[in-house]
Amino acid sequence: MHDSVNGPDVRHMSPGTRILVAISGGVDSSVAALILKSEGFQVIGVTLKIWEAFPSKDAKAVADSLSIPHHMVDVTEPFQNEIVEYFVNEYRQGRTPNPCVLCNAKIKFRYLIALKAELGAEYVATGHYARVSFESSKGRFLLRKGRDATKDQSYVLHRLTQHDLSSILFPLGNLTKEQVRDAASGAGIPVADKSESQEICFLAGTDYRDFLSGYENQVIEPGPILDAAGCLIGKHKGLPFYTVGQRKGIGIPGSKRLYVTKIDASRNAIIVGEEADLLSDGLEAGDVNWIAYSTPPHRMRLGIKIRYNAKEVPGLVLPKSQDMAEVVFDTPQRAVTPGQSVVFYDNDIVVGGGIIV
RNA sequence: UGGGGCGUAGCCAAGCGGUAAGGCACGGGACUUUGGAUCCUGCAUGCGGAGGUUCGAAUCCUCCCGCCCCAG
């Protein structure tokens, strides 16, 4: 029995099972490795190098302090091709991408799982706050929220497939951040006091707008700022500098605050309005990945999360095709933003999720 | 120097006798594996200057300074 180790077929894992653990150099992944090691598994640390000057030396230090082997794998090329390009293109088209969501599915877990076979391991583990379980009645692996509601990261994992989930372990799924920190300092892990990571990992401190400005092929053209009626009321610095719901940086004085309500790439225009104009009754999602179903029901009442840092709200999810769905909120929501992910929950189960059109 | 208008924080701007709205910009904090999103918070002992009226004036009166418009 390994209660703290959450994942598929945990009960059948015998001590000595070889598990690949992604080590980022942060607290969470360190503790994930620590837990698995203390449970008697054969732990191999892997750090994906997604970007030059990344990661810090911490990853190797953590692995050393845990006395586990450590591999550094260079994935800078696929990361560049699939994530950075996507990131830049989305902005170019007036959408607001969430690169972390795509990276988890297309880079992080894909390469870890590929490596798993190469290194003769049975499972892949990360320090995410989420859980995986196998639902025998459906014959499917389910992704669930982490027990610590304030740290739950299931949102950024909603694009994982059944194949991915079948070999993923989330050792922190039942723990709170506090317990994780305690475990880290108790074990003398060098990064125990490290603060939460933030911002886009590959930008490491630099402003994403500076990054976009300096990016080759990126076209940043100033254009008109229009009001709801279509009247020209100002000039913007380039679509990538704005996101729906934004109010800072518009620079137009007035009696009421103005917010970006829409980005119209075809006219290279930013549309602004008042806060009430940000409300939407629903949305349409594309690229939907269903986890809880192979073919979803036509109509589901679910919890809906329209951005990483958003409260889940109730509503209807109406699948339109295998990868498209319409969502109707019980009450209108603020700043539905194209490009961001929308994730559907049935209590703590991630039913699926897609990208807002 | 005939007529009219205006001077309120770095900027836009409300107030029109009762003790300085709001917005832009800026600052601080919280949150955070996306996004200057969200959340909390700071920001004019003073309203061009000097007098006066009044219990009390940015608001009324007088003079001065500086802009703008129309006409000559």
Bridge pairing between strands A349-356 and A269-273: unpaired
**ipTM score of the complex?**
0.84
Measured at the CA of A281, the angle between CA A278 and CA A285, to 5 degrees, comes to 95
- What DSSP designation does A219 have? -
What Å value separates CA A253 and C1' B12?
6
Please check whether strand B approaches the CB of A109 to within 7 Å: no
Token readout for A245 is 């719901």
Q: What pLDDT shows up at residue A191? A: 81
Whole-prediction pTM value?
0.92
Please check whether strand B approaches the CB of A245 to within 7 Å: yes
What Å value separates CA A128 and C1' B1?
79
CA dihedral A56, A58, A59, A63 (to 10 degrees): 160
Please check whether strand B approaches the CB of A257 to within 7 Å: yes
Instruction: Give the nucleotide with minimal C1' distance to the Cα of A244.
Output: B37
Please state whether A269 falls in left (phi above 0), alpha (psi between -120 and 50) or beta. Answer: beta
Please check whether strand B approaches the CB of A170 to within 7 Å: no
What Å value separates CA A326 and C1' B19?
56
Token readout for A238 is 């380039």
Cβ count within 10 A of residue A136: 7
Please check whether strand B approaches the CB of A300 to within 7 Å: no
- Cα gap A103→A95, rounded to integer Å: 17
- Cα gap A284→A300, rounded to integer Å: 15
Q: What pLDDT shows up at residue A14? A: 83
Instruction: Give the nucleotide with minimal C1' distance to the Cα of A310.
Output: B38
Nearest to A54 by CA among A19, A25, A15: A25
Nearest to A352 by CA among A157, A168, A119, A197: A157
Q: Annotated active-site positions of A, please?
A: 103, 201
Show the low-confidence residues of chain A (pLDDT under 50): 1-4
Model pLDDT for residues A41-89, shown as the tens digit of each residue: 999 999 999 887 665 678 899 999 999 999 999 999 999 999 999 999 9
Q: What pLDDT shows up at residue A87? A: 92
